[in-house]
Amino acid sequence: MRGLVQFIADLRNARARELEEKRINKELANIRQKFKDGNLSGYHKKKYVCKLLYIYILGWNVDFGHLEAVNLISANKYSEKQIGYLAMTLFLHEQHELLHLVVNSIRKDLMDHNELFNCLALHAIANVGGREMGEALSGEVHRLLISPTSKAFVKKKAALTLLRLYRKHPDIVQPQWAERIISLMDDADMGVALSVTSLVMALAQDQPEQYKGSYVKAAARMKRILVDGEYAADYLYYKVPCPWIQVKLLRLLQYYPPSEDTHVRDLIRESLQKILNLALEMPKNVQQNNAQNAVLFEAINLIIHLDTEQALMKQISTRLGKFIQSRETNVRYLGLEAMTHLAARAETLDPIKQHQAIIIGSLKDRDISVRRKGLDLLYSMCDQTNAQPIVGELLQYLQNADFAIREEMVLKIAILTEKYATDIQWYVDISLRLIAMAGDHVSDEVWQRVIQIVTNNEELQVYAAQNILQYVKADHCHETLVKIGGYILGEFGHLIADDKGGSPIEQFLALYGKLQGCSSGTRAIILSCFIKFVNLFPEIKPRIMYVFETYSYTLDSELQQRACEYLALARLPTDDLLRTVCDEMPPFPERQSALLSRLHQKHANTSDKRTWVVGGKDANANERDFTLSKNPGLKRAFSSANGRMPQSNGAANGTNGMNGYSGVTNDLAGLNMNDAGPSEPKTLKVPNLASAAHLSPDWEIGYNKLLLKGEGVLYEDGQIQIGVRSEYRSQMACVILYFSNKAPTAVTSFTTTLDLEPAEKENLSWEVKGLPESTIHEGAQSQQMIMFEAKKVFDKSPTIRISYLAGALQALTLKLPVVIHKFMDPAELTADDFFKRWKQIGGAPREAQRIFGVKGGKDGGREFNDSFIRETVEGFRWGVLDGVDPNKKNFVGASVLHTGDGGKFGCLLRLEPNYGTQKVRLTIRATDESVSPILIKLMEERLAIGVSTAPETTEAPTFRDISDAFGNVLVP
């Protein structure tokens, strides 16, 4: 496009802005004319749109040609389409009316066979997609994300496009997509994994429960990258393996509470240690250094978040100490930031306090970014012991601080002073000095808070009155101090009236001297103070009346009204009303400090969830939503605490100077900031696919077999075979699951999730000792070992969700044959012992009895027979006691059940079959009433299946069958 190049060159040669404008106007006129004439070839349209784009980028307003630009999108030529899409993303925004016109063109490109066209369409949605586009196109975008035929470079764009749509309109991502999206985190292509991880991060923040599978995935991928070195060479960024995905994974792990699973914790610990080890080396190359540190600082954040890794924690506190002294400004900045995070979480501030001098020094750094971080850290690390020196330093620094951060500093100093004051004088001194020094940067909340504190704490009042009087007497006194003076002296001036230099007339003159130089609001406060003086100090009434009279002619209507009302009040024949009006102010109602809400307003509402906030441990106490900390109320425990303040009769009304104070709710309104934000967590109830409610068809075939056996095949279909081997020792069980891939290709993103009804979790606990490989190649096998412990008698068996990608997502939910009877050991008893114990246990409630037949009755083709019953009873781990029951057909058994917390239980069984009627009577007695009903239910269910009456048609399995079925299961 020679014309475009020429045009750009012309503009660059235009030395003055007027010349540039002239050239642009000429060109705009030209283009307008060309568009009007119509009949342009695609090439020319493209050229003119490009010129418009260039003009737009330079910052000029381009108010035509949008339609022509958008029309290019439906061009057949890729190069024209591409410019059309670029123009659309630059000229239009998500609510632009022209977007309606392009939805169909975009859809067409999404469905095109050429992937480059798909990409253009995805870019468009990711740039300007809003609600409407999301509703119309999200299905297609999702299809491109999960389709097995999508190329990697389309998939990753689809993932991020979906992320954009989700941010705009969360409902677009449907709950049932979760499992499939999580599985893509295992994608072999690092670009896809990176993009999908970004998507999952956003989703997991809002719906942690639904996306909790991502936690293990993130931990495992982290380890595969760092420890196993599993990445393509192209993803090494200056010797650091894909730092972007590392940072994302480490961040994702911070969105969840630390895992309880030791195996997952080991994975994470191993990766973190590796990161710390790698970072010991200080590379010279800037990029390598940055990438390595990016990962390192994210790892530090995770370690602080986990809060359980003492060894790692120790390593990082020493390193942070070095970072904050680094010569590199970036590292100093990040070191201070990480330390602030540490202060927000750590049990003790001691490791940070060691560096107090350096941190204070950072307030003098030449870079304002570093100074700000230093301020944050000092604020966070402050406690009772170091408040006085830190506040002192902050005050000193305040004098030279940049204007940009003064207001924040004042707030922080005020908060710290209030929070950690143990000494009356200190609180009053610092507060007043703070206001004197930084008057212009003191927001209203600060001085009003001082008044609230003084009013509500009697022991402060005299000292505060004395001090403020000194300030007001001085020649130069900031107006904010005059406001405080007006209020404090009006309320508590009488307490110091007998002091030297504090006589009523001196108080009056001090305030009167400031009256002229003050703004209207302050004058109003002073006038209100004077009417209180009329009440308290009748001796100076004439002088005050003179002031009121003067002000009753002032032009300011608010002041004039006050003066007139006060004048009238003071002239009343009796002073009853005056006394009532000017009664002592009642204490302020307890409320959260407006200071904190003011400070936090500044930090509210970023699009990503904060996992912590600046401000030490108690600011982070409420982890759930990081609302403001439980702040001490207005009443503070000072060292010289006196008795409670007498409650006055509460006659205060609007005539005093504190008009703005009715708004407690207003003060608190700012606290609700955490509800703001683009995506609120959804309350939608999501099905737990791993639970027993979602068992896959045919789950029971293997399960029923394995009820009676320790090992065998749990499940098998065309793609996968799942074998189980288990060993039980008293209350402990070791279960190994073997997953064999029977499909002709590798399966990827192999994931297992164990689940158990929440109520049962305290009865049966488990620990995962290893996870299956994420990729299982054709014909290969992977295994998972789980240790179970029966703490008490449990009723429900755990379930396992197995999902993997073999083209599409395949998922199974199976019940594991971990059942209470597996924890029994057969016992041998003599007939005498048996009957003695049988009687000892006695009938209900420790006895359970059922009479039942085969499920489906006699015609179901199944029956009871002696060998079936014997097999089942033995399979249920009873010691069958032959010759104990006088009737030879009956079965009698005994066993001992082991549980961890519940101890051992003795169990006895008697089973009386009647083969004629095909019924059995089953009686179980156990030493605890909780055991027998559960055992009898299990046995009834299993026995009722019966055995097939048809003659054995299948031949005994050949050796080959056996080795096929069990070969790789039984020989690991």
Partner 1 sequence: MPGSYLILLSRQGKVRLAKWFTTLSPKEKAKIIKDVSQLVLARRTRMCNFLEYKDSKIVYRRYASLFFIAGCASTDNELITLEIVHRYVEQMDKYYGNVCELDIIFNFQKAYFILDELLLAGEMQESSKKNVLRVISAQDSIEDTEVSGAWLFRFYGVELCCYTFTAPGRYPYPLIH
Q: Residues comprising the binding site?
A: 2-3, 34, 43, 47-51
d(CA 142, CA 184): 12
Nearest residue (CB) to partner 1, 43 versus 546: 43
Nearest residue (CB) to partner 1, 326 versus 631: 326
Q: Is 483 left (phi over 0), alpha (psi -120 to 50) or beta?
A: alpha
Nearest residue (CB) to partner 1, 162 versus 911: 162
d(CA 92, CA 69): 10
Nearest residue (CB) to partner 1, 50 versus 409: 50
d(CA 345, CA 312): 15
For residue 755, the cross-strand partners are 799
Nearest residue (CB) to partner 1, 127 versus 422: 127
- Answer yes or no: are the C-beta atoms of 515 and 474 closer than 8 Å: no
DSSP code per residue over 738-797:
EEEE-SSS-BEEEEEEEE--GGGTTTEEEEE-----S-B-TT-EEEEEEEEEE-S---SP
Side chain identity, residue 380: S
CB of 746 to partner 1, least distance (A): 22
| CA-to-CA separations, 180 to 145, 176, 222, in angstroms, rounded | 10, 8, 20
Nearest residue (CB) to partner 1, 12 versus 476: 12
Please list the helix, strand and coil fractions of the chain in percent, rounded to the nearest 5, in that order.
55, 10, 30
Nearest residue (CB) to partner 1, 57 versus 808: 57
Residue 804 DSSP SS3: strand
355: enclosing H helix or E strand? none
Nearest residue (CB) to partner 1, 371 versus 925: 371
CB of 206 to partner 1, least distance (A): 14
CB of 192 to partner 1, least distance (A): 9
Nearest residue (CB) to partner 1, 605 versus 745: 605
CB of 291 to partner 1, least distance (A): 5
- Answer yes or no: are the C-beta atoms of 929 and 846 closer than 8 Å: yes
Nearest residue (CB) to partner 1, 9 versus 357: 9
52: enclosing H helix or E strand? helix 42-57
Nearest residue (CB) to partner 1, 57 versus 844: 57
d(CA 698, CA 691): 16
Residue 929 DSSP SS3: coil
Nearest residue (CB) to partner 1, 297 versus 905: 297
CB of 287 to partner 1, least distance (A): 6
- Token pair of 568 as six digits: 């009238």
CA 504 to chain CA mean position, Å? 58
DSSP code per residue over 596-659:
HHHHHHTT---SSPPS--SSHHHHTS-TTT--------S----TT--SPPPPP-----TTSS-G
CB of 623 to partner 1, least distance (A): 16
Side chain identity, residue 609: K
CB of 27 to partner 1, least distance (A): 16
DSSP code per residue over 256-279:
SPPPS-HHHHHHHHHHHHHHHHHT
Show the CA angle centred on residue 710, arms to residues 874 and 918, nearest 5°. Answer: 35
CB of 270 to partner 1, least distance (A): 22
List of residues 6+ apart from 443 with CB closer than 8 A: 407, 410, 411, 598
CB of 56 to partner 1, least distance (A): 10
| CA-to-CA separations, 919 to 53, 853, 937, 948, in angstroms, rounded | 87, 4, 16, 16
Q: Is 187 left (phi over 0), alpha (psi -120 to 50) or beta?
A: beta
- Answer yes or no: are the C-beta atoms of 830 and 722 closer than 8 Å: no
CB of 339 to partner 1, least distance (A): 15
- Token pair of 20 as six digits: 């540039």
CB of 476 to partner 1, least distance (A): 32
- Answer yes or no: are the C-beta atoms of 116 and 78 closer than 8 Å: yes
Nearest residue (CB) to partner 1, 131 versus 694: 131
CB of 448 to partner 1, least distance (A): 25
- Token pair of 614 as six digits: 């600046």
* Residue from 243, 374, 242, 231 nearest 296 by CA: 243
d(CA 43, CA 919): 89
Nearest residue (CB) to partner 1, 60 versus 512: 60
703: enclosing H helix or E strand? helix 699-707
CB of 306 to partner 1, least distance (A): 18
DSSP code per residue over 308-347:
--HHHHHHHHHHHHHHTT-SSHHHHHHHHHHHHHHHHH-S
List of residues 6+ apart from 556 with CB closer than 8 A: 520, 523
Nearest residue (CB) to partner 1, 332 versus 862: 332
CB of 108 to partner 1, least distance (A): 17
For residue 898, the cross-strand partners are 904
d(CA 521, CA 193): 61
CB of 57 to partner 1, least distance (A): 6
